[in-house]
């Protein structure tokens, strides 16, 4: 079974990205059928600084590998290293109705906010459909905001198959990630790059402690009895602690006599211990760019080998190449 997902290289990953998405991608790398790619062509719709894009592409690959993506069990590649993507995008464009794209949120939101939208943003779901369909993907793990795009991909595949009368493209299904418990950020709202309230995954020890110590809390005094379930420090602590550790800290909240500073210290220790090995792995990988380039080149070769077959099938289907 082919599992595929893409990550936009638009900045450093934060705890929300990890617990809401990346951790689950990595758990699905049960065999070499899992494909994960860095969606740099997509990033061009919002990121217009070439040096930043170059850096973010490398960072995204290092992050995924440091977090446990194993290139022997999954295929990791950069989207633009597979030129077949843009060729399939054009074929798909010719079966995509304008009305389908006009319904898509990313575009609709921009128009509603009177922001300029370019054709890249408008047709972004077709590029995403090509990402999915080029590899005969069956399962596409995504956050709830991306379900609509997977449905568009399914719709486009159906139209292509219907127009050319055959099963040329596999119909994909979204597998919605369990991000129901939104991870709170440093101000208590959902953690997000757009809200400037993130804690980055690979934060070094000192800045990590500083960020955690600055988490917003209510102003209850030390002696007050506190409710752990209303406190984002505790919500974050649960991500790292065993059930026993969680119960112990919850009991201290409820007993009174514990200030938030102490809870923050416990959160810091748990988070720091959790991410320290990945930080170390990331340092090692970053010091060895040749290995990273090899992993990405291998990944692109594997992805292209699959993609070229599917594209060839589609070109025969629509008459661009001989039967």
Catalytic residues: 110, 190, 193
Strand order in the sheet with 139-142: 74-78, 34-38, 3-7, 139-142, 173-176
Nearest to 7 by CA among 152, 169, 177, 161: 177
Q: How many chain residues interact with ligand TRP (CB under 6 A)? A: 12
Residue 167 gets the label, from left (phi > 0), alpha (psi -120 to 50) or beta, of beta
DSSP code for 228 = G
Q: Which of 66, 85, 132, 133 is in the footprint of ligand TRP by CB under 6 A?
A: 132
Judged by DSSP in three states, 188 sits in: coil
Residue 264 in the binding site for ligand TRP (CB under 6 A): no
Signed CA dihedral, 240, 69, 199, 192: sign only: negative
Cβ pair 175, 5 in contact under 8 A: no
Q: Which does 128 bind (CB under 5 to 8 A by kind): ligand TRP, ligand ADP, none?
A: ligand TRP
Residue 145 has what DSSP assignment? Answer: G
Query: Tokens at residue 289, please?
Result: 């760019």
**Residue 193: which of 14, 7, 9, 322 has the closest Cα?**
14
Task: Give which of 216, 150, 229 is closest to 188, Cα–Cα.
Answer: 216
Q: Smallest distance from the beta carbon of 55 to ligand ADP, in angstroms? A: 17
Is 193 a residue that touches ligand ADP (CB under 6 A)?
yes
| 123 touching ligand TRP, by CB under 6 A | no
Span of 71-79, 84-92, 113-121, 185-193 interacting with ligand ADP by CB under 6 A: 185-193
Q: Does 182 bind ligand ADP (CB under 6 A)?
A: yes
What is the contact mask toward ligand ADP in residues 149 to 178, using x (rule: CB under 6 A)? ----------------------------x-
Q: Whose Cβ is closer to ligand TRP: residue 140's or residue 296's? A: 140
For residue 258, what are the contacts with CB-CB under 8 A and spacing of at least 6?
A: 222, 226, 252
CA distances from 133 to 44, 164, 303, 321 (A): 21, 16, 12, 19
Residue whose structure tokens are 């793990």: 141
The region of 1-9, 55-63, 190-198, 287-295 touching ligand TRP under the rule CB under 6 A is 1-9
For 61-82, give the secondary structure using H, E and C: HHHHHHCCCCCCCEEEEEHHHC
Binders in 9-48 for ligand TRP, by CB under 6 A? 39, 42
Our CB check for ligand TRP shows the closer of 143 and 259 to be 143
Q: Is residue 143 at the binding interface for ligand ADP, with CB under 6 A as the rule?
A: yes
Q: Which stretch binds ligand TRP (CB under 6 A): 24-32, 128-136, 254-262, 313-321?
A: 128-136
Q: Does 245 bind ligand TRP (CB under 6 A)?
A: no
76 contacts ligand TRP (rule: CB under 6 A): no
Position 38 contacts ligand ADP (CB under 6 A): no
Torsions phi, psi of 173, nearest 5? Answer: -125, 140
Distance in Å, CB of 223 to ligand TRP, minimum:
46
Residues in the site for ligand ADP, rule: CB under 6 A? 16-17, 20-21, 143, 145, 177, 179, 182-183, 190-194
Residues in the site for ligand TRP, rule: CB under 6 A? 4-6, 8, 39, 42, 128, 131-132, 140, 142, 146
């Amino acid at each position: 079974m082919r599992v595929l997902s893409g990550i936009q290289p638009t900045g450093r990953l934060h705890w929300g990205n990890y617990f809401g998405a990346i951790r689950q991608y990595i758990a699905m790398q049960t065999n070499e059928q899992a494909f994960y790619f860095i969606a740099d062509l997509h990033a061009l719709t919002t990121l217009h600084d070439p040096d930043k894009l170059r850096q973010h592409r490398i960072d995204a690959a290092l992050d995924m590998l440091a977090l446990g993506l194993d290139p022997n069990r999954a295929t990791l590649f950069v989207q633009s290293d597979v030129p077949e993507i843009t060729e399939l995008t054009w074929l798909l464009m010719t079966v995509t109705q304008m009305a389908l794209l006009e319904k898509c949120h990313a575009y609709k939101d921009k128009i509603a906010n009177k922001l300029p939208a370019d054709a890249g943003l408008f047709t972004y779901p077709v590029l995403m459909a090509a990402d999915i369909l080029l590899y005969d993907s069956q399962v596409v793990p995504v956050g709830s905001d991306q379900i609509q795009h997977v449905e568009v991909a399914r719709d486009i595949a159906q139209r292509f198959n219907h127009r050319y009368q055959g099963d040329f493209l596999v119909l994909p299904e979204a597998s919605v990630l369990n991000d129901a418990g939104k991870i709170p950020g440093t101000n208590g709202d959902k953690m997000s790059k757009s809200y400037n309230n993130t804690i980055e995954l690979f934060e070094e020890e000192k800045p990590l402690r500083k960020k955690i110590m600055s988490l917003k809390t209510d102003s209850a005094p030390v002696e007050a009895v506190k409710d752990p379930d209303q406190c984002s420090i505790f919500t974050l602590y649960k991500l790292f602690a065993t059930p026993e550790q969680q119960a112990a800290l919850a009991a201290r909240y409820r007993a009174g006599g514990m200030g938030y500073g102490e809870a923050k210290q416990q959160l810091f220790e748990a988070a720091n211990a959790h991410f320290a090995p990945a930080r170390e792995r990331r340092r090692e990988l970053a010091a060895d760019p040749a290995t990273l380039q090899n992993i990405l080149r291998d990944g692109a070769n594997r992805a292209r080998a699959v993609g070229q077959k599917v594209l060839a099938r589609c070109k025969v289907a629509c008459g661009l190449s001989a039967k």
